[in-house]
Structure 1
């Protein structure tokens, strides 16, 4: 598809999107223009991104990941939430680093697979993990590039102009959309309640964690962005996904708990984007009551949880 047609396709979707939550979405294969190599790094351009790739990549994998990348702006423009707030100016970069050494040298945290570098408006991805994701215990895990990882980091890029969002909110949203990603730029939100337990159990298999302990909602929602990063960097590897899992469950509660909760979140985001310097509070969370309700809701769906008393 020529780039100009891709642009009009995305614009048309924006103008005709209904004010209701989408059920399914399949991104088309985007136009992909190869650019001159720079210092041995291959580069391509899509409608919204510059993609730089250290090392070799097959054309099928490149096409799949370009489709995944372009699916995020397509999706965000259809959502009845004001989430589409990317950096202003030119196209943001997706940098696929060949290994952890290159990833860390460019600003990625040690031990992470992906990172959105807000100051540079660049998504950094470890290519060795992107193309060869660690095999989890879940037998339904897809074989091939980890497009969910790319979706997660591109969600952060898409929300770039939101300043000082609570980390549970920004990380929870990124996890929710990556969890709803079926692969190759396809999303299905009708199955999120089934997919979320499967997603969390990839990190904490039921054989080892029959009852999964999660951070208390009070402890999680009180963290600042710096505290979240510091805590994540110092945690044992087995602990790192627990805050993300809790944030994911909170976002599911807000987005799939009826129009009133979703409207509260939408109003908060609108005010936050319009007046970034004004201190506004996210939708209220009554920790004790909500912890009990979440545990009760998810138990029959294959996810037994309890919240720590912190």
Structure 2
């Protein structure tokens, strides 16, 4: 058979099959189209699209960390943080000046008053920022009457309670010591409330402050105290820990004796630690170590006799306190005080301060003395710049901003050191700024019994 005839028949058959397949596909496709075209669409529920936003705590807008614009009734405006408020007034820290002002509610705009109302819903109407005296008293005396004290037992502990304090001991304590402690504690409360410094601002006032007495130094050291301490304040628990024997009427000579309490000011150590406890809000702020140690040394220096605080001549009281710390009955006094550089000391925290005092050859004498003279200068010699400085810190300002605004005030560190040295030189004390201050023989002066005293002093070092 001719191959071409076969191929012709095959192509005709293929063409006929292709046509049939083509029309079949058209038929099926058309039927499917008609089916879906006339099919009633399925009804589906309408979906509502809701945009979700993170839930915001409405109380956040009333945080003291958020600054806002405040407008007076006359249209004047300031930027500041709301520190606290009542239904009658607002305490505002103005920025960038870092000054705290009391603003009567009626002087503020309606929007500001509405904001205060909202703030009060999330913060109880509470203003633990009492008004401060406008001037310094000559003295505050807490010895006028015996402090009421209630004695109880708690397990094996003896417990004595006054209005603001609770004293505990595993053993009985002499009545005269307890009476003195109670009197000093309550007199301190009156002293820190009676001066124009915000030492009681933002401080819890309902709970009693706890004091623990230990019958022996061994029992005291078991609390984790440093070997060079005779007592300490624990800011984590707001408790004071002391060794009872150091509150006895002793007159033991020691060099830089943190433990021995002389007859004239035998409760100095106790006052120092109680001041820490009573000024909790200052410690809880970003206050540097010289501030917290300075205020404790300041009130300790001005206590004479125990329970009475004399503010008539704070420079003389500070110098006498530094001299008394040498434990030589005034035979030797400090002529030149080695001082840490303010570039670091102004910003040094408590941990750094404690490390420096622990490692110092003089037991930290120079660091505590430096804290005292610096605190006294900014309180009395620099126009009481200490007040706005502490107000700023306690109300939430950061340390660097508070230092710049109130202590430096455009001055360099070197200029402040010069002003500090000039001020104290007029008051009988010279400074030598150094990296690691330690008291030396050449820094002292004296007359009666000087040779013998210096020999004892040299052996003590």
Structure 1 position 22, deviation (Å): 1.5
Contact 2:264 2:305 in 1 (8 A): no
Which range is displaced more, 157-166 or 82-91? 82-91
Judged with a 3 Å threshold, the aligned counterparts in structure 2 of structure 1 residues 65 and 305 are, in CA distance, closer, same or farther, namely same
Distance in 1 (CA, whole Å) between partners of 2:187 and 2:313 is 18
Which range is displaced more, 89-98 or 200-209? 200-209
- Residue number among 423, 431, 445 corresponding to 1:305 in the alignment: 431
Q: Does 1:98 align with 2:215?
A: yes
- Residue number among 49, 53, 56 corresponding to 2:165 in the alignment: 49
Aligned partner of 1:248 in structure 2 is: 372
- Residue number among 165, 172, 179 corresponding to 2:287 in the alignment: 165
- Residue number among 407, 410, 414 corresponding to 1:288 in the alignment: 414
Aligned partner of 1:26 in structure 2 is: 141
Structure 1 position 305, deviation (Å): 3.1
Using the size of structure 1 for normalisation, the TM-score is 0.81
Distance in 1 (CA, whole Å) between partners of 2:370 and 2:302 is 16
Which structure is richer in relative contact order (CA contacts within 8 A, separation 6 or more)? 1
Contact 2:294 2:372 in 1 (8 A): yes
Distance in 2 (CA, whole Å) between partners of 1:252 and 1:153 is 18
**Structure of higher CA gyration radius:** 2
Aligned partner of 2:325 in structure 1 is: 203
Which range is displaced more, 167-176 or 121-130? 121-130
Judged with a 3 Å threshold, the aligned counterparts in structure 2 of structure 1 residues 100 and 307 are, in CA distance, closer, same or farther, namely same
Structure 1 position 183, deviation (Å): 2.7
Q: Does 1:268 align with 2:389?
A: yes
Distance in 1 (CA, whole Å) between partners of 2:341 and 2:392 is 27
Contact 1:108 1:124 in 2 (8 A): no
Aligned partner of 1:71 in structure 2 is: 187
The alignment covers a number of residue pairs equal to: 290
Aligned partner of 2:353 in structure 1 is: 228
Judged with a 3 Å threshold, the aligned counterparts in structure 2 of structure 1 residues 126 and 87 are, in CA distance, closer, same or farther, namely farther
Structure 1 position 198, deviation (Å): 1.6
Contact 2:216 2:243 in 1 (8 A): yes
Distance in 2 (CA, whole Å) between partners of 1:181 and 1:198 is 11
Distance in 1 (CA, whole Å) between partners of 2:193 and 2:315 is 23
- Residue number among 339, 342, 346 corresponding to 1:214 in the alignment: 339
Structure 1 position 19, deviation (Å): 2.0
Structure 1 position 243, deviation (Å): 0.9
Structure 1 position 232, deviation (Å): 2.1
- Residue number among 262, 269, 273 corresponding to 1:153 in the alignment: 273
Give 3-state SS (helix, strand or coil) of 1:190's partner.
coil
Contact 1:98 1:128 in 2 (8 A): yes
Give 3-state SS (helix, strand or coil) of 2:281's partner.
coil
Structure 2: 5+ residue stretches without partners: 1-128, 437-461
Structure 1 position 71, deviation (Å): 1.0
